Amino acid sequence: MRPARAQVGSLPMSMTVSAPASLPESGGDLTYTVQITNGFNDVGAPDFTNIYLVQMADTFYGDLTDGNNANITSTTCELATIAAGATYECTFSAIFTGNAGAERVHTLSATGRSALVSSVSANVTHTVQIAPRAPTLSVSVTAAADVPEPGQAVQYT
């Protein structure tokens, strides 16, 4: 006989993300660090207070745990178990390219369950912008190795 699952309360779960707020013009590879914390602090009852992640996703990049997700270039994110009071950390990378001023606003979300609650979730919004790159110019001049006689022409390339 299986015990019934009832939602007794809510487990505090929080999520943070860190990534650069901007990339130089034309963009590039962007690495995100995600931290999910199980805020329940009763470590004496782990069977009831562990959070079992069932989903980690991003509104733009999709499933963050799928190593075959074409929207991301790499991921260490997985559907982990987070003990009471513990923090789970993972990273994922994605390409973001565009012209100066391009912006991507997206929301990362995590959903889990525990023996106490059928569903617990957290999300965070992050914005990345392509910053203009200062223009650069370089000039290189070389002369032939032979030294010409006075009055003769010098060829530069």
Q: How far apart are the first and last CA of the chain?
A: 87
Give the CA diameter of the chain.
106
pTM for the whole structure: 0.72
From the CA atom positions of the chain, what is the Rg in Å? 26
What confidence score (pLDDT) does residue 81 get?
A: 94
What confidence score (pLDDT) does residue 3 get?
A: 34
Q: Is the domain 13-131 a CATH 2.40.50.140 member?
A: no
* C-alpha separations of 26 from 102, 104, 116, 131 in Å: 9, 13, 47, 9
Contact yes or no for 64/138 (Cβ under 8 A): no
Q: Of 134, 56, 127, 64, which is closest to residue 96 (Cα–Cα)?
A: 127
pLDDT tens digits in sequence order for the chain, 157 residues long: 333 333 333 457 777 778 877 777 777 888 999 999 888 776 565 566 889 999 999 999 999 999 999 999 999 999 999 988 899 999 999 988 878 888 888 899 999 998 877 888 888 888 888 888 777 777 877 766 677 777 777 776 6
What confidence score (pLDDT) does residue 8 get?
A: 35
What confidence score (pLDDT) does residue 144 get?
A: 64
